[in-house]
């Protein structure tokens, strides 16, 4: 890939907690696969950007912090931490509806404007959770390489 001009790959790792990957996100990924995949890409001369989700239904704050810690030690060049948005029709949306996890009843109108739509363990409100996620993005990306290829 590098020889053909590719300079960066992105990996949707999603969580640094195996329970969340298996039981909530139904992601067919084992944590022990992530670091070797990143290492191989970097050895091939590629930058590696990773995507991480926080705020899955019934995910605890401790599990989210495990994700941030795992991400910070995975060897990637850069990171995106996103708050999970339950899209209508998805399994996550059904869980949030069934368990009535919305921060408020106006969730459909806010879906395109807000980052956090439903209650998350360890946070008093959406704004507090959004600030935490933003801080984690800044912490993980502090001093990382620029992702734009210089010509």
Residue closest to 52 by CA, chosen among 121, 31, 44: 31
Question: Domain 2-141 classified CATH 1.10.3720.10?
Answer: no
Q: Does residue 54 register a pLDDT over 60?
A: yes
**Predicted TM-score (pTM) of this structure:** 0.80
CA distance 131 to 137: 10
Q: Per DSSP, which regions of 33-112 are E strands?
A: 47-54, 78-83
The pLDDT assigned to 56 comes to 93
pLDDT per position as a tens digit, 88-142:
888 888 998 899 998 877 666 566 555 788 888 899 998 899 889 988 988 898 8
Task: Name residue, tokens 């956090």.
Answer: 116
CA distances 72 to 15, 110, 138, 140, Å, are 12, 31, 12, 6
Q: Does residue 149 register a pLDDT over 50?
A: no
User: pLDDT higher for 131 or 29?
Assistant: 29
Domain boundaries, the chain: 2-141
Residue closest to 33 by CA, chosen among 41, 25, 23, 44: 41
């Amino acid at each position: 890939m590098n020889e053909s001009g590719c300079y960066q790959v992105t990996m949707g790792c999603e969580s640094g907690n195996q329970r969340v990957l298996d039981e909530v996100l139904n992601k067919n990924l084992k944590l022990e696969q992530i670091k070797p995949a990143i290492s191989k890409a970097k050895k091939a001369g590629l930058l590696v950007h990773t995507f991480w989700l926080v705020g899955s239904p019934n995910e605890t704050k401790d599990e989210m912090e495990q994700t941030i810690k795992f991400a910070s030690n995975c060897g990637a060049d850069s990171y995106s931490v996103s708050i999970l948005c339950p899209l209508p029709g998805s399994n996550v949306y059904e869980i949030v509806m069934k368990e009535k996890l919305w921060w408020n009843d106006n969730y459909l109108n806010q879906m395109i404007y807000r980052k956090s739509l439903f209650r998350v363990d360890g946070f008093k409100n959406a704004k507090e959770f959004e600030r935490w996620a933003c801080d984690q993005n800044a912490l993980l990306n502090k001093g990382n390489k620029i992702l734009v290829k210089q010509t």
